[in-house]
A and B are shown apart, each in its own frame.
Chain A
């Protein structure tokens, strides 16, 4: 029951910023935007999440548009280890609520 749209794939040069877009035009007022990534044959890894303000942590930055209908995950200096499938998920942040994964964006960092 994914409610997001992401490009299927993207390339990024090593050392450059990777900007991954996500559209969530039907997002509700109480839904957060979460980003996870999955490296091949591993479990997903939490990256960042936010409601309406931009967020930054040691892994990435999350930019959410003012109308909250889209967001961008920014990896400031992509490395080869950032090659993965990145999932954008919208969800009400209540304990026990499920995460439904869409198709995600396959990011390839090129040397």
Chain B
């Protein structure tokens, strides 16, 4: 149980375009979802926390107008990278939790590798 599906697993886009990444909880209701970014050979950096039905809370230094997060249902959160540039190329990972899952740690998606050309 407690599966988080992330889609797409990789995407290549042109500079200036927008890319949407989906994060779905398949067998539980995710009251809270998190979005991370990871550059090569670095650790995961938390970008934002989203609670279902409310605005996301962004970490310091993360541009909320560039990284749009929507958590409109208990099973889906999306991250849209707007006007992507090559420096946005990174590995984006979501995680989710809800209810009793708190006792077993959060479940992470398999990640999305974004390459902006």
A interface, CB within 8 angstroms of B: 34, 36, 38, 41-46, 49, 87, 93-96, 98-104
Contacts and interface: CB of A to CB of B under 8 A. Distances in A.
Interface residues of B, number: 29
Contacts of A95: 31-32, 97-99, 102
30 contacts: A34-B105, A36-B105, A41-B91, A41-B113, A42-B111, A43-B4, A43-B109, A43-B110, A44-B108, A45-B108, A49-B105, A94-B102, A95-B31, A95-B32, A95-B97, A95-B102, A96-B31, A96-B32, A96-B49, A96-B97, A98-B46, A98-B49, A99-B34, A99-B46, A99-B106, A100-B46, A101-B36, A101-B43, A101-B46, A104-B43
A87 B107 CA distance: 15
A42 B32 contact: no
Contacts of A42: 110-111
B108 A43 contact: yes
B50 to A, nearest CB: 10
A46 B51 CA distance: 21
Nearest to A57: B104
Contacts of B76: none
A98 B45 CA distance: 11
A44 B93 contact: yes
A46 B49 contact: no
B6 interface: yes
Interface of B: 4, 6, 31-32, 34, 36, 43-46, 49, 51, 91, 93, 95, 97-99, 102-111, 113
B110 A98 contact: no
A96 B98 CA distance: 8
A46 B43 CA distance: 16
Nearest to A85: B43
B28 to A, nearest CB: 13
B99 A46 contact: no
Contacts of B104: 46
B102 A46 contact: no
A98 B44 CA distance: 12
